[in-house]
Amino acid sequence: MKWHKLKKHRILETELIKNLKWSYATKEFDPSKTLTKTDLKIIKEAIQLSPSSHGLQPYKVLIVENPEVKAHLKQVAWGQNQITDASHLFVFCSYQDLTEDHIDELFDLKATTYNKEKSTFQGYISFMKAGLKNKTPEARRIWNSRQVYLGLANLLNVCAELKIDACPMEGFDTKQFGEILDLNSKGLDAIVLAAVGYRSKQDQFQHFPKLKKPKNSLFEIIS
């Protein structure tokens, strides 16, 4: 890599770290501020581009804008104000079960995208379906739920880049969320939330220093 390209790469890395240092799990949002359509589009694209095992993306993201729905959800999320005060609430949901249909859908898309016959991928399809059969329904459900966090990570990173505030949240009643959002009919489980918007000037947490483990405690080099 030429020096000017390496230097540019390091500058980009530095900007990312600066943005991550700027961001924090926002506790108080300014309810008068909303995301622009452009920013929402960018956030959605970042989630869409998230990696997942086999590229299956076994989840769906509900984006709640409706104030009345958010108010109902707040009641079953420990009364946390982020639910209602943030511009948008992203509800990351995993499929309750992963089926062979999901695998077929992936390879239908792959065949179309790569302009190939689906039969080209038959070996891989068979491999994935065999692995699916070897997992219990509960194991599949757990595996699916883990995938959503990859999408959540991309949301948090792109929000930092855009200087938009976000707060990941697990403090909610999953069963009642399912009832309010009619998730069972969609075969979905609510796994994790992300309130997204703009910090209130009154949120004292924005002034606190980052509280993170020191690197020598967090990392261990195996050489």
The predicted pLDDT at position 7 comes to 60
17 belongs to a structural domain = yes
Q: Is residue 64 part of a domain?
A: yes
Structure tokens at 195: 């309130």
- For residue range 125-180, what is the model confidence (pLDDT) as tens digits? 999 999 999 999 999 999 999 999 999 999 999 999 999 999 999 999 999 999 99
Domain of residue 87 covers 3-218
Task: Tell me, yes or no, whether 66 lies in a domain.
Answer: yes
In this prediction the pTM is 0.92
Q: How many domains does the chain have?
A: 1
pLDDT of amino acid 191: 98
223 lies in some domain: no
CATH number, domain of 28, equals: 3.40.109.10
Whether 8 is covered by a domain: the verdict is yes
DSSP character string of 63-115? EE--HHHHHHHHHTTTT-THHHHSSEEEEEEEES---HHHHHHHHHHHHHHHT
